[in-house]
């Protein structure tokens, strides 16, 4: 599947009734964005089609990516992430705005679930329903070498994509993936689980993290 065909097919997806209802219901709820157009559809990934680095998040924010149509854009997660990408030479600009000419270099952003879930918590059924889109999208990134999972649920979804179980022994920091039933690439990959950038921006929202006053 080519990129354009993937985006068009994804935008028409209505597999998960709860997510379809929520992504449309939240439009205009937040006063700061009242009157602004919302994407309110599944959010495709964004970045360099020849990326060697994949950043894999959880799901769009209701008033972030669900509004702007671009991953990690329009909310605190993007305000934290894009300056770091720019500083590392992976982004042409330190911020992401809808309709701008931002470009990413060597990195691609996507998520385990492509519609905004209530309370930022997709169900297991919704994660499974979106796994087919993950397979299709990652298939468009043949040069990917480093998979950075942002948060526990994103990591579990990424492991599931490669046919690895959560209960499997811890993976070494580098080396060949163990034999699996899935789509593990036949090459050595660094594997880097990480905290979600929204947790970095709002440490009080992370269990065990410092609380906001």
Per-residue pLDDT reduced to its tens digit, 98-144: 889 999 999 999 999 999 999 999 999 999 999 999 999 999 999 99
- Say if CB 101 and CB 127 are below 8 A apart: no
For 3-168+189-205, CATH gives 3.40.470.10
Write the pLDDT tens digit of every residue in 79-95: 999 999 999 999 999 99
Q: Is 167 left (phi over 0), alpha (psi -120 to 50) or beta?
A: alpha
Main-chain dihedrals φ then ψ at residue 111, nearest 5 degrees: -145, 165
pTM to 2 decimal places:
0.80
Q: Render pLDDT for 8-67 as a digit per residue (tens, 0 to 9).
A: 999 999 999 999 999 999 998 888 898 899 999 999 999 999 999 999 999 999 999 999
- List the domain boundaries for the chain: 3-168+189-205
**111: nearest Cα among 180, 61, 182:** 61
Q: How many CB atoms lie within 10 A of CB 19?
A: 26
Q: Is 91 helix (H, G, I), strand (E, B) or coil?
A: strand
Residues 82 and 120: beta-carbon distance below 8 Å:
no
Q: Under 8 Å CB-to-CB from 141, ≥6 apart: which residues?
A: 49, 51, 54, 108
């Amino acid at each position: 599947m080519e990129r354009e065909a993937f985006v068009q097919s994804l935008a028409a997806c209505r597999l998960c009734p709860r997510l379809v209802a929520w992504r449309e219901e939240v439009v205009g709820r937040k006063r700061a964005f009242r009157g602004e157009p919302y994407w309110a559809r599944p959010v495709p990934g964004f970045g360099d089609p020849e990326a060697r680095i994949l950043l894999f998040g959880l799901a769009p924010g209701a008033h972030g990516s669900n509004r702007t149509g671009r991953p990690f854009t329009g909310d605190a997660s993007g305000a934290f992430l894009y300056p770091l990408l720019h500083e590392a030479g992976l982004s042409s600009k330190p911020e992401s705005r809808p309709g701008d000419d931002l470009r990413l270099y060597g990195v691609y952003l996507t998520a385990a679930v492509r519609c905004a879930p209530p309370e930022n918590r997709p169900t297991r059924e919704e994660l499974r329903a979106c796994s087919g889109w993950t397979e299709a999208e990652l298939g468009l990134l043949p040069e990917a070498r480093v998979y950075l999972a942002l948060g526990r649920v994103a990591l579990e979804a990424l492991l599931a994509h490669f046919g690895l179980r959560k209960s499997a022994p811890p993976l070494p920091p580098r080396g060949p993936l163990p034999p699996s039933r899935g789509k593990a690439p036949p090459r050595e990959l660094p594997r880097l689980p990480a905290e979600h950038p929204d947790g970095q921006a709002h440490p009080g929202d992370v269990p065990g993290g410092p609380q906001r006053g």
